[in-house]
Amino acid sequence: MNVTLFGLGYVGSVTATCLADRGHRVVGVDTDPGKVATVNSGRPTVIEPGLDEIAERVVASGALRASISASEGMEDSDLSLVCVGTPSALDGSTNLTYVRRVVAQIGAALAESTRPHTVVVRSTVPPGTVADVVVPLLEATSGRTVGEGLQVAMCPEFLREGSSVEDFFEPPFLVIGGSPAAAAALRELFAFLTCSVHVVDTRAAESVKYASNAFHALKVAFTNEVSRLYRALDVDARDVMKVFVEDRQLNISPAYLRPGFAFGGSCLPKDVRSLLHLGRVNNVDLPVLAGTLASNEMLVRDVADRILQEIDARGGGNRRVTLVGLAFKHATDDLRESPNVALAEILIGKGVDVHIYDPIISMSKLSGANLRYVESKLPHLQKVLHDDPSSALSGSLVAVVSSAAPRVVDAIVAADPAVVIDLNGRLAALEVLPGYQGVGW
């Protein structure tokens, strides 16, 4: 393909060089004449292992050249890649000045031709940027309509500086946000990759990049935070983390990364509190760990607020809410520190007419610490706990559901509450209902 790449920095320099190495004809455009001259002399603009040798080869063969002129770089172009910087503004927002400038330049060049073209944003941009900023600007400046010979896509970059050439050729996956036609162009561009390809909408593609970087930041901060505590406790954190990462079932795995409701139960809250206490007595601040409890409680309060707002907005006097599932997680009867119990407590405190059904829980079977816990938190559970989902849901305005037993789904459809809040994504079958809401989607 004939590719025009805007922004010859870390991402752009590596991308332009490596794409040229895989048979594309690439023109790199940058506003910095020094970078343009460097590329045209066969050298990369950044120091990266393995890049010099490829750059020398592809510039010598004519597969890669650089230009300061956007319009010249766009001549005969099939696809443009936006790789300019998106730095932080003082208030933390993303400065899209460079992205806007480049998109306007691409649009102006496209106005002069009828050649089909695909514009791909490779820079990291906030969710909504492609749809709300890039597409309108491109349409205004090109006079063309996206979809008719003009495609726009988001394709985030996942390379790391220091190993960028290796990462470029072996990315974790290729994420494409855009139409099937845009995806087809990107599949052709990256045909040499063997990784999986995920085609999603542009907002999801933009968001995957942020989720990835936030998670990487969280991993580093978590590890270094527990290391600070362990050092104070005379524990070698290297020994701990060496074993920790060996757990591919729960620690380094997709476990706990499915959007859903708050954590609870007899272990996670208790053990995080215990670490926070050890931190306090040893004068070690643990903001990441403290943040887990704060964030978890916030989620319960958010769901309670959403329910109260629904009651205000469309209850018309009906304050009946049914919790389907009470235990801290599905398929157990453990109520200790269940976020569902906390949610019920908040709602009852606000005068909501709460009814509860859990396929596993009945008053007669509760015993020991479990019974004591629920008696202290929900002393009137007996009065509001139903043996049958239909009677629990009958006449309810809102169903808050963390169980998807077959009887539950049928009972929700029959009771037809105005709002169904799916707490753990098990109610996919009910997504068609107009009142369906995911807890975090």
Ligand X SMILES: NC(=O)c1ccc[n+]([C@@H]2O[C@H](COP(=O)([O-])OP(=O)(O)OC[C@H]3O[C@@H](n4cnc5c(N)ncnc54)[C@H](O)[C@@H]3O)[C@@H](O)[C@H]2O)c1
Q: Least distance in Å: CB of 227 to ligand X? A: 25
Beta-bridge partners for 150: 117
159 is in an annotated binding site: yes
Residue with Cβ nearer ligand X (36 or 356)? 36
* Distance (Å, whole) CA 184 – CA 199: 10
Q: How many CB atoms lie within 10 A of CB 224?
A: 11
Contact residues for 408 (Cβ-Cβ < 8 A; gap 6+): 324, 357, 359, 389, 401
Interaction of residue 20 with ligand X, rule CB under 6 A? no
Binding pattern for the stretch 69-98 against ligand X, x by CB under 6 A and - elsewhere? --------------xxxx-----------x
Interaction of residue 7 with ligand X, rule CB under 6 A? yes
Binding pattern for the stretch 106-135 against ligand X, x by CB under 6 A and - elsewhere? -----------------xx-----------
Return the ∠ at Cα 137 (arms to 133 and 142), rounded to 5°: 155
* Distance (Å, whole) CA 306 – CA 300: 10
Interaction of residue 31 with ligand X, rule CB under 6 A? yes
Q: Judged by CB under 6 A, how many residues of this single chain contact ligand X?
A: 25
Binding pattern for the stretch 355-384 against ligand X, x by CB under 6 A and - elsewhere? ------------------------------
Contact residues for 46 (Cβ-Cβ < 8 A; gap 6+): 9, 10, 13, 14, 161
Helix, strand, coil proportions of the chain in percent (round to 5)?
45, 15, 40
* Distance (Å, whole) CA 234 – CA 424: 39
Q: Return phi, psi of residue 191, to 5°.
A: -60, -25
Site for ligand X in 180-209 (CB under 6 A): none
Tokens of 275: 């670490």
161 is in an annotated binding site: yes
Q: Least distance in Å: CB of 120 to ligand X? A: 12
Select from 72, 112, 161, 410 the one that contacts ligand X (CB under 6 A): 161
Let me know if 267 is a catalytic residue: yes
* Distance (Å, whole) CA 217 – CA 200: 24
Piece of 24-32, 59-67, 137-145, 263-271 that binds ligand X (CB under 6 A): 24-32
406 is in an annotated binding site: no
Interaction of residue 168 with ligand X, rule CB under 6 A? no
Binding residues for NAD(+): 30, 35, 86, 124, 161, 270, 336
Report the interface residues with ligand X, using CB under 6 A: 6-12, 29-32, 35, 83-86, 98, 101-102, 123-124, 157, 159-161
**Residues involved in catalysis:** 267
